[in-house]
Amino acid sequence: MVVSIQWLGGAGFLIKYAEVCIGIDLYLSNSCMDREGNLKRLVPVPVDPNSLKMDFLIASHEHGDHLDQGCLTDWFSDDKRLKLIGPSITLASAKDVPEDQKLRLDRGDSLALRENITAHGVFCDHGEQSPDCIGVLLVLGDKTIYFTSDTCYRPDLQELTGIKNPDVMLVPINPAYGNPGSDGAAKLTKMFSPKMVIPCHYWITKEHGGDPAEFESELLKVSSEIKSTTLAIGEEMIV
């Protein structure tokens, strides 16, 4: 059975498998922008947020571009079956989500979401900005997708997560807020040796930065065997 991955900008993805739809770190509002215009959204929202029909929404941590406070109320009031998955601090930050629609996933935890669909919470290093931020390994039938979440480069990350050779790796390439930038993201990719890597966490705000062409250039310096796929915002691919 195939897995569909759709990039919705920033760090956000929709993943579909066996008629189950999983959102990860979706940011489809402009709720992060402050009165001075900082963190202003630079690109249009690729889909109508209220048109999404998700079964699960994973938020790796509580920052507003990963836990979209501008959309949460509508998403969870409109669909009582939708479950929010995330670490403890993130769930506590989602005050508009009913408690019976929350599922905790801390580092080292696993959740069986459906038959042949499991989410594993793994270590990531987002520093003091978000001490319980998680990476996520999704096992979908015989496919594995590793979402690193916001993490700095560190040489022991593979050892700390226990992940090796995922089918797809989703890695941030922005050099701000503790994330690795192109060079660090390329080193992380080589470390985990996925069959395919998709760069993310860029093109949403000017403060984030990030350049997919630069990332591909850096990846070629450390590995010529790993396939890098740069998606357009809203583009969907089958793996």
| Count of other CB atoms within 10 angstroms of residue 37 | 8
Question: Over the stretch 125-159, which tens digit does the pLDDT of each residue have?
Answer: 998 889 999 999 999 999 999 999 999 999 999 99
Residues 6+ apart with CB under 8 A from 58: 22, 23, 24, 25, 85, 86, 105, 119, 136, 147
pLDDT of residue 79: 82
Terminus-to-terminus CA distance in the chain, angstroms?
A: 10
Which residue ranges in the chain fall short of pLDDT 70?
none
Domains of the chain (ranges plus CATH)? 4-238 (3.60.15.10)
- Per DSSP bridges, beta strands 102-104 and 83-86 are parallel
pLDDT of residue 128: 87
Alpha-carbon distance of 172 to 149, in angstroms, equals: 7
**Size of the chain in residues:** 239
Of 114, 63, 61, 51, nearest to 85 by C-alpha is 61
Alpha-carbon distance of 20 to 81, in angstroms, equals: 12
pLDDT of residue 142: 96
pLDDT of residue 231: 98
pLDDT of residue 1: 85
Q: How far is CA 3 from CA 20, 25, 62, 186, in A?
A: 10, 18, 27, 24
Q: Per the confidence metrics, is the pTM higher than 0.95?
A: yes
Sheet containing 56-58, strands listed edge to edge, beginning at the edge strand earlier in sequence? 102-104, 83-86, 56-58, 20-24, 13-17, 4-7, 236-238
Contact 132, 88 (CB under 8 A): yes
pLDDT of residue 76: 94
pLDDT of residue 34: 96
pLDDT of residue 129: 83
224-227-233-237 Cα dihedral, nearest 10 degrees: 170
pLDDT of residue 78: 78
Which residues lie across from 200 on neighbouring strands? 172
pLDDT of residue 185: 98
Question: Over the stretch 186-214, which tens digit does the pLDDT of each residue have?
Answer: 999 999 999 999 999 999 999 999 999 99
21-24-28-29 Cα dihedral, nearest 10 degrees: 130
Of 4, 12, 53, nearest to 170 by C-alpha is 12
pLDDT of residue 220: 97
Q: Retrieve residue 128's tokens.
A: 């003091």
Contact 223, 190 (CB under 8 A): yes
Rounded to 10°, the helix 212-222/181-192 angle is 50
pLDDT of residue 219: 98
